[in-house]
Amino acid sequence: MPVSPFPPLPLLKAESWRLMARLVLVGREWSTRALLRAQFLEEGVDVEAYESVKDALQAFVPALPALLVTDLAASNDPEADIRDLASWVKRVPTWIIASRLSGAAAELEGRGFERIFFRPVDVGELVRFVKQRLLRRL
């Protein structure tokens, strides 16, 4: 029997994928959060959704997510959310969705966020970008 010159590919269990590719989604608007969560689930992404940044950050214990996507467009206190999120960017890749019209848009630059999207955001494109980013992590 011939021996392959290539090392065997690691086999990933479904549970491993979920642990390594966990996405945390934050958005105050229930309808937007539910739509995005449903789309990610449909695409096979393990996603947890939270209404507030504080709730999401508390969920990081015991394990950090592979990616954090936060919609700040309807935030009650976007400046505070930006400060809280910026404190995590070195440990968790963080993507922001914001409104160009909000005063917070100028505060996003230079905070270390991996990506910043401005509304309107194409859900299909966002899902595609997230899947590509999560696959890079594997």
Domains and CATH numbers, the chain: 14-137 (3.40.50.2300)
More confident call, 72 vs 8: 72
User: Predicted confidence band at 63 (pLDDT cuts at 50, 70, 90)?
Assistant: confident
More confident call, 128 vs 1: 128
Query: How much of the chain, in percent, has pLDDT values that exceed 70?
Result: 80
Instruction: Specify which residues 95 forms β-bridges with.
Output: 69, 115
Q: What is the mean pLDDT of residues 16-40?
A: 79
Its pTM stands at: 0.78
Residue 81 has pLDDT above 80, yes or no: yes
The three-state secondary structure class of 35 is helix
Residue 102 has pLDDT above 80, yes or no: no
CB distance 83 to 59 below 8 Å: no
pLDDT, averaged across the chain: 81
Residue 20 has pLDDT above 80, yes or no: no
Q: Which residues contact 57 (CB under 8 A, 6 or more apart)?
A: 84, 88
